[in-house]
Amino acid sequence: MKNTLSLVLLLITFFSFSQTKVASWNIENLGKSKSDFHLNYIAKTISNYDIIAIQEVVAGNGGAQTVAKLVTLLNQKGNKWDYSISNPTSSSSYKTERYAFIWKTHKAKLKNKPWLEKKYNLEIDREPYFATFEINKKTFTLVNFHAITQKKQPETEIKYFKFLPNEYPDLNLVFLGDFNCPEKHTVFNPLKKMGYSPVLKNQKTTLKHKCKNNICLASEFDNIFYNTSALKVSNSGIIKTYEDFDSLQNARKVSDHIPIWFEFSLN
């Protein structure tokens, strides 16, 4: 009986270690405007995940420094973290920003230097930021993205994503971030035909200005698309950050988006 129990505990430990938890969060204007209270809250919220992809890091003064400050707070919570911040996106017609990745060093190893997409940087205003990670000697590449707003028709950018798996045939791509577009939009059909699937369906991820009939979320914008032949997803969901605040106004001081996440193992 004792040996059986030990084996069960060992299997649970192995399974939990072989699983990777990735979160994605559009943290509105992540820069100097975030107070220490907000940064502590963000650190506490993301500390249970292994890798975090962040969109909307301020491109100008204060963005990179704020990410570094956030990582310092995470390092005070018991795990060792590292991070990478992109150069400002090359947008000239819209709002340039930076992206960031933050990860637990004992869970994931960064392979090579992350990069902003070069080939479609003119067609995509805020070209995605790629980073390849190694876990248990297997690799996958996160493609961190923040689309133009719905009014500007993000599908005109997202349509180029169908070319990226062929552009990087040796990489196991995972697309994640704020698409400003629901996963049911036909622009995602080419990716779906290639074997990609969204982790969230019919799930709103942006905050309203006011809750109505206890409904506080507005739009299905954030998601994660993964290759079903390369990853096995065991769990996914959202983090209802707005429930931690006394009003949506105060929740929106952190961000107008909530974090999304998924847990997976590599095939």
pLDDT (tens place) for every residue of the chain, 267 residues total: 656 665 555 444 444 457 999 999 999 999 999 999 999 999 999 999 999 999 999 998 899 999 999 999 999 999 999 999 999 998 766 689 999 999 999 999 999 999 999 999 999 999 999 999 999 999 999 999 999 999 999 999 999 999 999 999 999 999 999 999 999 999 999 999 999 999 999 999 999 999 999 999 999 999 999 999 999 999 999 999 999 999 999 999 999 999 999 999 999
Instruction: Please check whether residue 126 is in contact with residue 96, taking contact to mean a CB–CB distance below 8 angstroms.
Output: yes
Give every CB contact of residue 59 below 8 A, 6+ residues apart in sequence. Answer: 88, 89, 96, 97, 98
- pLDDT the model gives residue 69: 98
- pLDDT the model gives residue 18: 76
- Whole-angstrom distance, CA of residue 30 vs CA of residue 255: 9
- Its pTM stands at 0.93
- Whole-angstrom distance, CA of residue 148 vs CA of residue 178: 9
Instruction: Please check whether residue 221 is in contact with residue 180, taking contact to mean a CB–CB distance below 8 angstroms.
Output: yes
- pLDDT the model gives residue 253: 97
- pLDDT the model gives residue 12: 47
- pLDDT the model gives residue 92: 63
- pLDDT the model gives residue 15: 47
- pLDDT the model gives residue 228: 98
